[in-house]
Chain A
């Protein structure tokens, strides 16, 4: 699943470690989500949306929806 995590993180000048700390997950998780290798659970997706003050759709793009 494509996402804008890297952009949103860069806008706030947060490192992957900073974001991981805010989300209470490992940096490996943030990296895997950012690179599209791992899709987060719905609770974590909501947590991301709250953190970046946007919606889940504002962060993630469903690639099957052309």
Chain B
């Protein structure tokens, strides 16, 4: 009897827990994860101004590949030239999209009220760490950004492989 149950349960549970076992490697082909994405020419970015840039990723979404859009906070720095603050808008608390409040000159998460300064450092509220910065490159006078998801709700910045 227990053998019968085992025979049904093992493949069933393995099927259900499937997502645990395919954490990486499944998305090797055609995914734009891990690639730098074009965020536009440098001239578009005024120095010292926060701006939300949209980039498009291709991701394996179950049975199909989907184009997903991600927006990224970008701020061009005066010194050194061609350097940027590039911050993921995903709140490190629980994943809400963080807004930049021009009137307060800081980032505010609309969900649980976390606030971050203009460098993305945590000022107040429940988030366990500051906003996550993303890698960028300047190629041929254009800004290229690498999108990366991070685990939310923990102090350490742990990249999530997609």
> Do A and B bind?
no
B-side residues, CB < 8 A to A, are none
A-side residues, CB < 8 A to B, are none
